[in-house]
Chain A
Amino acid sequence: MSKMEIIHSLIKDIPVLIVSGKIDAVTAKDLETALTGHIDKNKKFLVIDMEKVEFLSSSGLRVLMASLNRLKQRDGDLLLAALQPFVKDVFFLTGANRFFSIYPNQGEAINSLKI
């Protein structure tokens, strides 16, 4: 079974999801549930700390893009932080990087919001 964990925290009233493990077809559904939960509570901004993400398949990428699209529709954003090189590659290989705001770490992602 693929392993993925999500730790939820709130920093400066912004939900931060610390994700670890592999995001594949199976675990992407858990990520989708977690993100949808925050979006359904009318949150505008979400930060995902991906420092411990070991793998990201297109299923995970689709969930991230769908969530980003929903947030953008309400002038919000989905910020990604601390991408490992091989996870970053997925965004750059597919061109998905042009949709996302990517930060070197969680702190910089949160500070960029200036809310």
Chain B
Amino acid sequence: MTRKPTNLIYGVDDEPPLATTLILGFQHIFILSIAFIFPVVIINEIGASPEDAQNLICMAMLATGFSTALQALNKGPIGSGYLCPLLNGPAFVPASLLAGKAGGLALIFGMTALAGIFEGLFSQVVGRMRKFFPPEVTGTVVLMVGVEVIPIAVPKFFGVDSAHPGIQALPFLVALITLAVTAGFNVWGKGKMRLYSLLIGMAAGYAISFAAGILTMDQARLIVDSAFFQLPEIGKFGMSFSTAMLVPFLVAALSSALKTMGDLTTCQKINDADWKRIEMRSISRGMLACGAGNIASGLLGALGQSVSSSNIGLSIATGATSRRIGYAAGGILILMAFFPKLAAIFVIMPTPVMGASLIFTVCFKIMAGIQIIMSRMIDSRKTFVVGLSIIFGLSFDAVPGLYAGLDPMLRPLLSSSLALATICAVVLNVFFRLGISQKMDFEIYPATDTSEKIFQVMEKQGGIWGARREVIFNAISAMNELLDAAPFLGLSEKKIAMSVQFDEFNLNVRAVYEGKPFEIPTAMPSIDFMHDEQASALALAAFTMSRYVDKMSFSTKEGKTQLHMHFEH
């Protein structure tokens, strides 16, 4: 059972009122609809017709609506149980472009379905790969998932495109106001105002865009001119397959799967005040839902999909993570495929409003990544894993074309800052784990050593192991209590041999000394005896020690006492 964090208005298991659920569902769709640009990009690049683009967007609504609802399921073998909407993600754009140019839309859809099958298979083995994804790796992936959106968001925020390479004052002003309104309501708004902060900001952005002429009358007319009801043409282009396209699509699926892992890790963390580590079961079920979503995409005739990091940023920002919102968003998306008038509201979204909304959500995503990384103690090994991965990940956007000359087989692996950073983090984590022992021994001499020695040894080792700070602190405190008790156990001139063993779930300390076991009081010694050190110090140290450990016991071996302390990690 998880504990709902206090900053959430509606946690994952909460059931907001129906009207609130629907409005929050719509708010998520405003973010998802920004990705409708990707089908248009693909169509433009491969030279298909505008009608094909319309069909692709319509199928995108159906496919992502299905998988968004599927992802929210918390019963049965599929679905992570979290509000984690999916969209036709940029992860599949490079592979789809290759396939589209080689074999048209049918090849894109066939290979997307295959990628979905691969993702589904990968989901069944990912549970056994926890050690490859410690918090510094998943945190870096979550951070880069946010960073990856920056090159898409920033040009839209400043009104920059191929026709306008410089900052455009008017679009920039609209974006700035949209962001200010959204952030303002999010920071200072209470209750519903915070809940709907993005919707309020976007409404302001639409209104100002209309007043400024960025949103034209002709665009607005699209809502009026669109049909009220229309049956979508499912599977219009069929499917075809090519072995040459296998590698790019498998890489896209892997990248999407890792992104799912990063995003679902964030979902776990934001919904549990006591979050400690990645929980692989919901990751596996969530990844399977993504795979099923991609199979659906292929069958329906839509682009490959992956989870939307921006929507998770929105959940954090608004404090609403109820899975009911996932069902609502999925249902509305499916309805939109049948009601083009409804879809048109999102299709005409002004570019500066898109830029401002994306930047707003990216802020939360980046912070979530940093928090996951910093949930563990960091040493120089982890500094390199995180630092190098971010540096080489960012190099993709910072130095355009840097990896263009590489072998075409390798190119999909280096197709985005996220893919690069993820590969770096996973590989570097494996490399830097070499030579790390899970056991460490040291000695304490009560006559000369102080708490400083225990702090130094344990903090260094905690960093090497990537342990949770609070667990290491509890172990340090308990060891110090033994040091405090030493003079009263006759250990002043003797040594205490410490042996510390760590794995992801346990931290065990064994202290061996020449002396007798001591009594562990079940209650705090009386305050009236505290002035008498001889009478109270040992009992107070033993009692305090017992409060830090999860379990403790004594044994005797070769005439020496062994004190066993167990800490849950």
**Bound: A62/B530 CA distance, A:** 6
Within the complex, the shortest CB–CB distance from B444 to chain A, in Å, comes to: 12
0/1 per residue, B477-508, Cβ < 8 Å to A? 10011011011000000000000000000000
Q: Which of B21-29, B254-262, B540-548 contacts A (4 or more CB under 8 A)?
A: B540-548
**Bound: A57/B540 CA distance, A:** 10
Q: Which of B139-147, B206-214, B531-539 contacts A (4 or more CB under 8 A)?
A: B531-539
Complex contacts, B545 vs chain A, CB 8 Å: 58
**Bound: A70/B528 CA distance, A:** 9
Q: Which one, B452, B455, B480, B530, contacts A66 given CB within 8 A? A: B530
Contact assessment for A62 and B540 in the assembled complex, using a CB-CB cutoff below 8 Å: yes
Q: Which of A5-13, A40-48, A91-99, A107-115 contacts B (4 or more CB under 8 A)?
A: A91-99
- Chain A interface size band reads 20 to 34
Asked whether A65 is an interface residue with its Cβ less than 8 Å from the other chain, the reply is yes
| Closest B residue to A72 using CB positions | B527
Within the complex, the shortest CB–CB distance from B21 to chain A, in Å, comes to: 37
Asked whether A34 is an interface residue with its Cβ less than 8 Å from the other chain, the reply is no
Contact assessment for B451 and A55 in the assembled complex, using a CB-CB cutoff below 8 Å: yes
Within the complex, the shortest CB–CB distance from A25 to chain B, in Å, comes to: 5
Within the complex, the shortest CB–CB distance from A37 to chain B, in Å, comes to: 15
Asked whether A69 is an interface residue with its Cβ less than 8 Å from the other chain, the reply is yes
**Given A26-B450, A55-B451, CB of A93 within 8 Å of CB of B484:** no
Contact assessment for A57 and B481 in the assembled complex, using a CB-CB cutoff below 8 Å: yes
A interface, over-half SS: helix
| Contacts from B to A (Cβ < 8 Å) | 450-452, 455, 473, 477, 480-481, 483-484, 486-487, 524, 527-528, 530-531, 533, 536-537, 540-541, 543-545, 547-548
Complex contacts, A26 vs chain B, CB 8 Å: 450-451
Q: How many pairs of A and B residues are in contact by the CB < 8 Å rule?
A: 77
Within the complex, the shortest CB–CB distance from B519 to chain A, in Å, comes to: 15
Most buried by B among A22, A26, A59, A86: A59
A residues 52-107 with Cβ under 8 Å of B? 55, 57-59, 61-62, 65-66, 68-70, 86, 90, 93-96, 99
Q: Which one, B452, B537, B547, contacts A62 given CB within 8 A? A: B537
Asked whether A30 is an interface residue with its Cβ less than 8 Å from the other chain, the reply is no
Q: Which one, B473, B527, B544, contacts A68 given CB within 8 A? A: B527
Contact assessment for B481 and A70 in the assembled complex, using a CB-CB cutoff below 8 Å: no
Complex contacts, B481 vs chain A, CB 8 Å: 57-58
Complex contacts, B527 vs chain A, CB 8 Å: 65, 68-69, 99
**Given A57-B477, A69-B530, A70-B531, CB of A94 within 8 Å of CB of B483:** no
Contact assessment for B450 and A59 in the assembled complex, using a CB-CB cutoff below 8 Å: no
**Bound: A61/B530 CA distance, A:** 9
Q: Which one, B451, B531, B540, contacts A61 given CB within 8 A? A: B540
**Bound: A57/B545 CA distance, A:** 9
Q: Which one, B473, B484, B533, B537, contacts A24 given CB within 8 A? A: B484
0/1 per residue, A9-39, Cβ < 8 Å to B? 0000000000000101110000000000000
Q: Which one, B451, B455, B530, B548, contacts A65 given CB within 8 A? A: B530
A–B pairs, 30, beta carbons within 8 Å: A1-B452, A2-B451, A2-B452, A22-B451, A22-B452, A24-B451, A24-B480, A24-B483, A25-B480, A25-B484, A55-B455, A57-B477, A57-B483, A57-B484, A57-B541, A58-B537, A59-B484, A59-B541, A61-B540, A62-B533, A62-B536, A62-B537, A62-B540, A69-B531, A70-B531, A90-B544, A93-B547, A94-B540, A94-B543, A96-B524
Complex contacts, A24 vs chain B, CB 8 Å: 450-451, 480, 483-484
Most buried by B among A24, A61, A86, A96: A24
Complex contacts, A62 vs chain B, CB 8 Å: 530, 533, 536-537, 540
Complex contacts, A86 vs chain B, CB 8 Å: 473
Within the complex, the shortest CB–CB distance from B546 to chain A, in Å, comes to: 10
